[in-house]
Chains A and B, each alone.
Chain A
Amino acid sequence: MLSRTADHLYWMARYTERAENLARMLDVTQRMSLLHGNQIDEAGWTAALAIAGCEASYRKTYDKVTPGGVLRHLTFDTDNAASIMRCLKAARENAHAVRGTLTSELWETINDTWIKVRESSPTIVEGNGAGEFFEWVKYRSHLSRGVTIGTMLQDEALWFARLGTYLERADSTARILDVKFQALLPEGSDAGDDADNAGDYYQWSTLLRSVSAFEIYRKVYRDRITPRRVAELFILRDDMPRSLHHCLDEVHALLNRVGNRQSAETERRAGLLHSSLQYGRIEDIFAEGLHPFLLDFLARAADLSERIANDFLVPKH
C-alpha cells in the first residue's frame, strides 16, 4: 500500500478518536465543575486546556480562564487546530483523500459527521446544550469506528486505521489520568484511601465515566472506589477497552502485522512498552510515582508515533 494512503487512513482514525476524547474530557470537566456550585472551577478548566495542549493558544485570545471561553476554544473555534470542529474536519479531509480505499458506508459516515458539525451553531455548547453535543460527538465516533470494523476488508488499510485509533486513545487516557490525579490527589495523600467524602466520590466516579468505566469498575472490583484502583483500571487492566494496557495490546499486535524491513526497532519498542504494562504492578507504579510513570509513558507513545511515521507513513525513502 502507498505510504500516503496509509498515512491518510491513520490520521483519519486518529482525528476521529481525538474528537471523541476531547468531547469526553470536556464532558467530565463540566460535570466536575458543577460540584463547585457557584464558584468557578478555574483549576478544572485550566486542566482541560492542559490535557488538550491548548493553554498557549487559549491565552492568545482570552485573558481569563472561564468555562465559556474554554468550551468555545475547544469545540467550535476554527482557528484552534486542536478543536473538535477542526479534528472532525481533518478526519474528513484525510478520508476524502483516500475515498477510493474506504467503503462507501465509511466515507458517507465521516462526511456526514462533518456536514452536520459544520451546520451546527457554536452557541449549542453554551448553556445546557453542551452535554448533548458531547454525546453526539461520541456517538458519531462510535459509528465511524463500527462502520470501519464492520465493512472494511481486513488488510493493511484497516490495520493502519486501527493503529491510529489506539495510539490516539492511549495518549488521551494517559493525559486525562495524569491531570486529574494531580488535581484530585495532592502529593502525599494515600491512593489506597477511600474516596471518603461525598465530593471525592463524585469526582472519582466522574473520572471513571469519562472513559465509560464506571460500570466496569463496579463489575471488576465490586467494592468501594479508591484512587489506586482507578489508576489500575486506567493503566493495567487489559480487559478495559480504553486502558493503556489494552491500547498497547492492539498497537503491538498491529505493528507485528504491518511490519516491514526497517520497522524491527519500532516493533521492539512497542513490545517493551507493552510488556511493562502486561507485567507491571500498580504498587510499583505508585512507589515510583504515578506522574513520572505517565510522563514516561506519554514520551514513549510519542516516540512510537514518530517511528511509525518514519517507517511506514512518510518514509524518507
Chain B
Amino acid sequence: MKAKAYDEMTTADGAVRPHYAEFAAWLASQPKETLARKREEADLVFHRLGITFAVYGEAEGTERLIPFDQIPRILPAAEWTKLAAGLRQRVRALNAFLGDIYHGQEILKAGHIPAMQVLQNVQYRPEMQGLDVPGGIYAHIAGVDLVRAGEGEFYVLEDNLRVPSGVSYMLEDRRMMMRLFPDLFARHKIAPVEHYPDTLLEVLRTVAPVGVSNPTVALLTPGAHNSAYFEHAFLAQQMGIELVEGQDLFVADEQVFMRTTQGPRQVDVIYRRLDDDFIDPLAFRQDSMLGVPGLLSVYRAGRITLANAIGTGVADDKSIYPYVPDMVRFYLGEEPILNNVPTYMLRKPDDLAYTLDHLAELVVKEVHGSGGYGMLVGPAATKQEIEDFRARIIASPDKYIAQPTLALSTCPIFVDSGIAPRHIDLRPFVLSGREIRIVPGGLTRVALREGSLVVNSSQGGGTKDTWVLEN
C-alpha cells in the first residue's frame, strides 16, 4: 500500500499550511473566469515566444509546449536555508570525489567504494586521469533532483552532473507568473531568480584557464534538432554569449577558436550542452558530427575550460549514488544534511532476490538511464510490464538498481474540474565556481496525470513557478 502523500499546501486534516495562507486567501478571492482567462493567456504567450521543446521521434514542427501550472510551489525561508546548505555540502563532496578518482583515488584505497564500480564504469573517463582542472571544479552546473516523502522530509533522487536542463523553464515560469499576477508578488516577499544567467556567466568566467584575464565564453549546442535547443538559445542570448555548434569551432596552435566574420576568435570557456561521447570525434565517438576535432588535446593542455568537465557522469551514475553520503563523510568530515533514498544494488545477490520478490512495490531504474526512460514504477505497472521487466533484470542484474516507491509530495494544480493535487519534485541548480551559488528555489516539475509519479517533460510532465519566501 502506498503511504499518503505529503501535500505542500495543506496538512493531513485539511488546514492550509502557514506559508500558503496568503496565497490561499488570494485564490479564494479570485473569480473562476479570471483564472481561466489567465490560463489561456499563458498558453498564448508561451506559444508566441516559442518556448517549446522538440519531441524525439516526432516529425519536424511537432514542438510541444511544456504545460505550465499557475499555482506556485512555495517553500518557507527556513526550509530553503536547510536545503541550500545540504545542496552545497553534497555538490562540494561530489566535486571532491571527481577530483579524487581522477587523481589519487583515496576513497577507493580506503575501501569506501569498490574500485571496479568506479574504474569499470562506462562513465569513468581514463582521459581525465591526472588532469588538473581550474579550481578543482568538475561539475560547474548541477541539477539535483529532490523529492519530499510522506513525513515531509526531503530526499535526493539523483544528482545530475552532466548537462542538466530545465533552468529556462524556471526563469520563464517566473516571468509568466509576474506577468499574469503582479498583485501576488506585491503580497508576498519572494526571493528573485532572474539573475541566474548573470550568475552562471560569472561562475563560468571564474573557471577560465589559468592566466586568462578576460575570458570569452561560448555555449556549445548539438543544434536546432536537440530537444533542449530552446534553452540553449535562450541562455546564450540572456548571457550575451555566442551559441556555437561544433562546426563553428576549430583547434589550432593548442587553442580553440570560433569562426567569425571578423576572423578567428579565441574561446576560453565552453559551456557545453553536448555529452562527453560527442564532444571530440578524435577522442570519443568517431561518427560524431557535433563535436570539435582536437578539443580534448587542448583541454588536456589546460588551454580551454569545459563546463561541465569531461567524465562527471561517473559521479551521478545510479550505481555510485548509494555512496554519496559516504563521500560527504569521507571528504568533508560532516554528516550529510540531505537524505539518500535507500537503494538496492541488484548486482548484489541479496538485493536482487529481495527486489524480484517485491517488484510490485519498488521503483527499478537502469543504472545509466535518464529522463524517466527505462524505469519501472511497480505500483503503477501492469502485471505484464512487471514480468517483462523481471526478464530484463534477470538477464543483466548489474544494469539496475531498485528503490522503495516514495510517496512524492503533492501540490495542487488547476484541472478542468477545479483544483486537484498532483505529485511534484524539485530541481535546484547548483553553480560551482570560485564559490558555490544557488538561485533560490529551482524548477518544480509536476506529474499532470492523476496518481502518476513521473514528472519528466518527455513523459507528460509540467512545470510550476517555485517560490522561496524571504523572512
A residues contacting B by CB (< 8 A) are 1-4, 6, 96-97, 99-100, 156, 160, 258, 260-262, 312-315, 317
Contacts and interface: CB of A to CB of B under 8 A. Distances in A.
B250 A317 contact: yes
Interface in B261-304: 261-264
Interface in B214-241: 224, 233, 236-237
Given A156-B261, A260-B263, A2 B244 contact: yes
Nearest to A313: B261
A258 B244 CA distance: 21
Interface residues on B, range: 20 to 34
B263 A261 contact: yes
B224 A2 contact: no
A317 B259 contact: yes
B290 to A, nearest CB: 14
Nearest to A4: B248
Contact of A2 (B50, B250, B259): B259
A313 B248 CA distance: 11
A4 B224 contact: no
Nearest to B60: A96
B248 A3 contact: yes
User: Which applies to chain A's interface (DSSP): helix, strand, loop or mixed?
Assistant: helix
B245 interface: yes
A296 B263 CA distance: 30
Contact of B245 (A1, A4, A317): A4
B27 interface: no
B244, B257, B259 — which one has the most chain A CB atoms within 10 A of its CB? Answer: B259
B243 A100 contact: yes
A160 B262 CA distance: 13
Nearest to B262: A260
A271 B337 CA distance: 71
B453 interface: no
A314 B224 CA distance: 19
6 contacts: A2-B242, A2-B259, A2-B261, A6-B261, A261-B263, A315-B259
A2, A97, A260, A314 — which one has the most chain B CB atoms within 10 A of its CB? Answer: A2
A1 B244 CA distance: 11
A314 B247 CA distance: 10
B258 interface: yes
Contacts of A6: 261
Given A2-B248, A2-B258, A4-B248, A97 B224 contact: yes
B261 A3 contact: yes
B252 interface: yes
A93 B128 CA distance: 39
